[in-house]
Structure 1
Amino acid sequence: YRRDHMPIDVVISPEREVAEAALRRLKYPAAFDSESFLEDEAQLMGLRLEQDCPVLNTPLRQLNDLFSTLRVIVLAVRREGRLFAPDAGDQLFAGDEIYAFAPNEDVPRLLEVFGKTTKRQERVVILGGGNVGLTVAQALEERGGGIRAKMIERNRASAERAADALERTIVLNGDALDATLLNEAGVSRADAVLAVTDDDKTNLLAAVRGKAEGCPLAISLINDPTLIPLMEPMGIDAYINPRATTVSSILRHIRHGRVRGVYSIGDAEAEVIEAQVLSTSSVAGVHIRDIDFPEGVLVGAVKKGHEIHKPSGGLRIEEGDVMVIFALASDVPAVEQLLQVSIDFF
C-alpha cells in the first residue's frame, strides 16, 4: 500500500482540513468564517455587521473613496438568507453577513473599519478529543505562542489516546455538557471554546454553555448546514462546516484552468477561486473593465509578481497574474470558461 505503488494523485484528509479551518477561526476570532489565499498572504473573512459598525448605510463606492489606500473588497453579502455580489452603490446594514477580501497587512484595518476588535487567544478549551480536536491541540502545541489548551473528551479510550499524544494540553475525561467539568477546564477564564465533537447538537449546546459560563468566543463544528441559521440566535460566534471545507479541497483539483485554490461558501452557494492567468486565456492582456464577467462575479485581488493589487477597472490582467474571483454557483462555469485555454491555442 505504498503511495508510489498506487495510482492516486491527491489524498485529502477531511480531519486535517477541518482542523486547519478551526485554527483559522482561532486566529481571526472576529470572523465567523475565514480562508487563506495567495500563498497565505491574503484572507477572505466572513464578518457579521452589528449596530455599532461605523460604516453602516454607506455605499460601497463611498467606502472606496474614504479608504482609498485600503486594499479591501467586499465580495459578497448575505442579507435575510440571500447571498449576492454587491454593486458599488449597495449599502451595508446591521445584520448583514459580508465576505471581505484583503491582504494580510490590511486585515487589522479591515476589522477596524467594520467595527471588529482583535484579541490574542491565550486560553482555549477544546470540546472533543477525536481526530479533529487532537489535530487542533497538536497544532497549537507545535505553533507555540504561549497558547494554553485544555480538552474534554467523553470517550475514555479517546481521552487516553489524546493524553498520550499531547505534551502540554490537559485532557479531561467526561461530558462536554457537564457544567462542573467545564468549570474544572476553566471555560469561564478561557478566551475561546472550540466544540468539535462528532455530534452537531452536542457542539451547539456545548458552545452555548461555554458562552453562558463567561467564555467570550464560541466556535462550533456543524455538519448539517440547516443548523447554521441557529448560530446567531444561540450566541455562537463562528462555525466550521466540514462539508464546505472538504469540498473546497476537492474543487481545487477538479476546476478547469490553472486553479490554485477554491473555497466554497455556505451550502455550495458560491465559490472564491484563485487562479493563474495563462497566456492563452481570454482575460490575458485585457483590462478588468473589459472582461465579460457575469453579474454575480467580482474580483477580490490581483497578484502581479510579489505585489497584491486592489482590482480596478483600469488594471490590466497579464499572463502569470494570479486572480482571486468570487462567483455565485450559477456563474462558476462562465468563470471557468474565461480561465481556460483559448480555442485559438489549438
Structure 2
Amino acid sequence: MVKAAVLGAGSWGTAYAKVLAEAGTDVTIWARRDEVATVISETHENTAYLPGITLPPNIDATTDHAAALNGAGIVVLAVPSQSLRGNLKQWTSAIDKDATLLSLAKGIESGTLLRMSQVIAQVTGADLSRIAVLSGPNLAREIATRQPAGTVIACPDSARAIDVQKACATGYFRPYTNSDVIGCEIGGACKNVIALACGMASGQGMGENTIASIITRGLAETTRLGVALGAKPATLAGLAGVGDLVATCSSPLSRNRSFGRVLGEGGTMAAAQEAAHGQVAEGVKSCTSVRALSESFDVEMPLTDAVHRVCHEGLSVREAVGHLLGRRIKPE
C-alpha cells in the first residue's frame, strides 16, 4: 500500500489528507507547530484549521519532517507558495529519490517568477516527470464534509498521474488526469487574484452582473497568460481553470474573496488579514508576481494590475473600478 506524506497542516492540506486516507492511503501529516500535530494525533481533529471535522484513524501527524517522509511514495506539498522554497530546502534530503512530488500550492514565486513545479525541480533536483500538481474547485471545508467535487492531477508522466489519481479517488472526490502542468498552475495562481477583485466588488455593494463580468474577463486574461507560457486553452476552460475560478470567486469560504471584500468595504490590509484569522490569502502576494510575469511576456492583465495597485500601491477600490471602466472600449 502506498504511503503519503502531507507536508502542511492547513485547511486544504488537512482536507486532502482526509481524502487520501478515505481512499485507503496511509497518511502522515507534517505540522509546523507541536500543538497542531498533537491534537491531530490524539483527537483526530485539526481544531486550528478544520474544527468539527473528524479525521480518519489512518492519519498520523508529526513535527518531524523526516519521520513524515519515511517510506512516502507520494509527497504532498501543502504549504503556501511563497514559503515552499524555504521548506523544501529543509525537506529535500529526506524525500525518497523516486517519490512523486505533488504540489497543492497555488502561486507564482516572488522575485524568480517561477511556477511551483519549477521551484520544486530547482530545489530538489527532481526530474519534471516526478512532479505533479493538483488544481480544481476544491474549497477545503466542502471537501472535508464529503461534498462532491472534481479536480485535476497534472503530470508529464501519465503513470504517476494515474498513481496519484488512484490514491485519492473516493465516492465524493473525482480526480481527472492531465499532462498540462503549466495550464493548471497558471489557472491556480491567477484565480486567487481574480477572487480578490470579486471580493472588492462585492464589498462595494456591486451585484451579480459585476461579479460575472469580473470572472469572465479574469478568465480571459488568465488564458492569455497561460497560452503565452505554453498552456492549452482547453485546460483553462476546464476544472483547473474556469472551475476553480468560479468556486474561488463565488464562495464565502474563499479566503481571497473574503479578504477582498474587507478591502471593498473600506477596511485596511491589516483588517483584512485579521479577518482571515491568520490564514494566507495567496492572491495578495501573487498579484504582484503574476503582474510581473505578464509584463515579461507582454500580456495585458488589467484586473491583475488593479488588484496589485489596491493591495500594494494605496489605490482605493473605488479608484480601481473607475480606472477599469474608463479603459478604451474594444471588441471582445
| Structure 1 or 2: more strand by fraction | 1
| Structure 1 or 2: more helix by fraction | 2
TM-score by length of 2: 0.36
TM-score by length of 1: 0.35
Q: Which has the larger radius of gyration?
A: 1
